[in-house]
Amino acid sequence: MKSRSRMLPGRAALGAAVVLPLALMFGAGAQAAQWENGQELYDNLCGKCHKPEVGVGVPIQGRGLPFEYVKAIVRNGFRAMPAFPEAYIDDESLAQVTEYIASLPAHQPKQK
């Protein structure tokens, strides 16, 4: 039977192996913007579904969506859109992409 003092270092190592990556992943949101600018975020993530020519998600460009609305949808997801935690898209990057999509011309659906 192992003594209690011999078991603790193994548990501490296991705890560190689990906690440290999570702390690093979720602590990233407190740093500077993770994306270079709003256009980079839109082109490499949001636009993969929301660009009008893609036709997967609703077009979001030029709609003047407020930051709090964008943040709520991004953090919680909506219908087919998945949620993105702050560790993946920080608030500063969300603010930048909100400004960027507001600066784009509104999508004009083609007339049939």
Q: Which active-site residues does the annotation give?
A: 80-81
Q: Taking the CB of residue 108, how many other CB atoms lie within 10 A of it?
A: 9
Residues 38, 98 contacting (CB under 8 angstroms): yes
Q: Taking the CB of residue 17, how many other CB atoms lie within 10 A of it?
A: 9
Find, among 48, 58, 46, 27, the residue nearest to 99 by Cα. Answer: 46
Rounded distance between C-alpha atoms, residue 23 and residue 4, angstroms: 28
